[in-house]
Chains A and B, each alone.
Chain A
Amino acid sequence: MRIQHPILPSRSTKTISFSFNHKMYQAREGETIAIALWANGVKTLRNSEKNHEPRGMYCGIGQCYECRIYHPKIGLLKACTTRVTDGDHYFSKESFNEMDLARKGGGNEG
């Protein structure tokens, strides 16, 4: 939830749009991806590779890499230190990778 802090000056009022996992959201200009998503009530950024457990931002300063997400052109991003770019699309995982290929093509899992 975005607030107006009782002591601090206002943040930018300019709104920009972005998508995360194909869903549209709005950000205040200057917000990082993790902050903008949190403000929209989205805390889960991805699932862990091994046990598929939900993961989100932890350290908030680009050190722990728990908030890693994907941008189709840039690749891996740290959502907590990367600012939202107007109109960009972000994803929990690489939209097209070997695992997807195996699932689509193989069909013999489990």
Chain B
Amino acid sequence: MKVDVVVVGGGPAGLSAAIEIGSRGGHVVVVDDHPTPGGKLLGQLHQEGNHSNWWKGFELAQELKQKALAANVCILSEKQVWGMEPGWKVHISDLVQNDTGMEIQADCVLLATGAVEKPMPIPGWTLPGVLAIGAAQVMTNVYQVLPGKKVIVAGIDILSLSIARSMKLAGADVEGIYMLPHSPFSNYASPLLHLETLNEMTDFAPSKMIRLTGKLLKSKTGRKLAAQFYPPMGIKMWGIPIHLRRTILSINGTHEVESVTITKIDVNGNPIGEQKVIQADTVCISGGLSPLYELAAMAGCKFVTLEGLSGTVPLHNKELETTVPNLFVAGNITGIEGAKVAMAQGALAGKSICNKLRIGNLKIADMEEALSFVEHSRKLSDIQFHPKVSEAREHLDDLWKTLIKDVSREDKNGSNQKLY
């Protein structure tokens, strides 16, 4: 098969891009490894900011799918891209049938692969009944199966708070949300460091209480005080105790999760006081998200690591093209942000590709509009995964410009060095 564009990933970014390309007459195939397109939208359910409107991701996913089909986009579900050769030749395997797979040739490839959860080893985490927080989200909000009767969550962040609420809403007894262990895997998480992040995010915090304490958190002394005098029983949010001063030492059980051993910690994250065993049948671990970039690495992209983007991402310009010509990126592979930003980036990447391949009658104003819509969506986002995301985006842009200068200098010096 020969098409104009292969989009890898059928989430908010991938589908939005495909709609732009398809509606301008481009031939586009979306490859997705899940049974239903929509990606992480399918499980998203939260109240937006201060408003009582529910963000129902599955409705949006359906809408995007319908629009994509109406734009003649070919969606291949339950299939996985395992390799790419420049030019492009995209190798695809079928997840369900044991066939020989297929190849699709395309002028451009868009990687909208999303993110994965960072592994967060805790003794006993291999026991059945321990889930990554995202798995609990899919189980509860996509399949309507309760992850457990009594659930304990490890990791206090915007995602774990939202999913803990989802589980409670669905009928689970969420016993509490605890700090991640103080280890290299959590970047030595501690109450003091955590309050710093919380401070930066208070404008986005889904609770009035946390926004109020935000003032206290502005100063270092305030943060130390807050960490020291944090209520020993935790602060409740939607009736779920959040334990900033307690962590999980181990998950226990013979065949499945039976209990969890917790301990108090000091402001620096060191265990203090007695250990306590709490009965539970399910433990959800939230170690944060990280961009899923293997295919970009395989294609030979240059990479950068920026804290504000929550990890390592393929270096790309504002139009979302990577250092490898005709290879674009959109969504969480460019840095961890919410679905609104992912959709705006998808639309931008779609237009950039149309521009490059001369699909449709794209005007300069269309590109400018798409570029500013990404910025706009970022500002309006009610879920921010990292307080320094806008700074990191600017930094990324500087790095791109430096790279371009270096390349043109090399060219003047007669160097044949290519970008990839």
Contact = CB atoms under 8 A, between A and B. Distances in A.
Nearest to B117: A59
A3 B144 contact: yes
Contact of B34 (A8, A54, A66, A81): A81
A85 to B, nearest CB: 8
Contacts of B34: 61-62, 81
A7 B390 CA distance: 34
Interface in A1-22: 1-8, 10-11
Interface string A51-75: 0011111111111101000000111
A32 B35 contact: yes
A95 interface: no
Contacts of B132: 58-60, 64
Q: Specify the main secondary structure of chain B where it touches its partner.
A: loop
Nearest to A31: B143
Nearest to A40: B145
A28 to B, nearest CB: 8
B231 to A, nearest CB: 29
Chain B interface size range: 35 or more
B139 A38 contact: yes
B60 interface: no
B84 interface: no
Interface in B27-85: 33-35, 45, 54, 56, 58, 78
B134 A59 contact: yes
Given A1-B145, A60-B132, A82-B95, A54 B127 contact: yes
Interface in A21-35: 28, 30-32, 35
A83 interface: yes
B128 interface: yes
The 5 tightest CB contacts between A and B, nearest first, are A60-B135, A56-B128, A43-B128, A44-B128, A39-B145
Given A8-B45, A60-B136, 19 more contacts: A3-B145, A3-B146, A7-B54, A8-B58, A30-B35, A32-B143, A38-B139, A45-B128, A48-B126, A54-B256, A56-B130, A58-B126, A58-B132, A59-B117, A60-B138, A60-B139, A66-B126, A81-B34, A83-B35
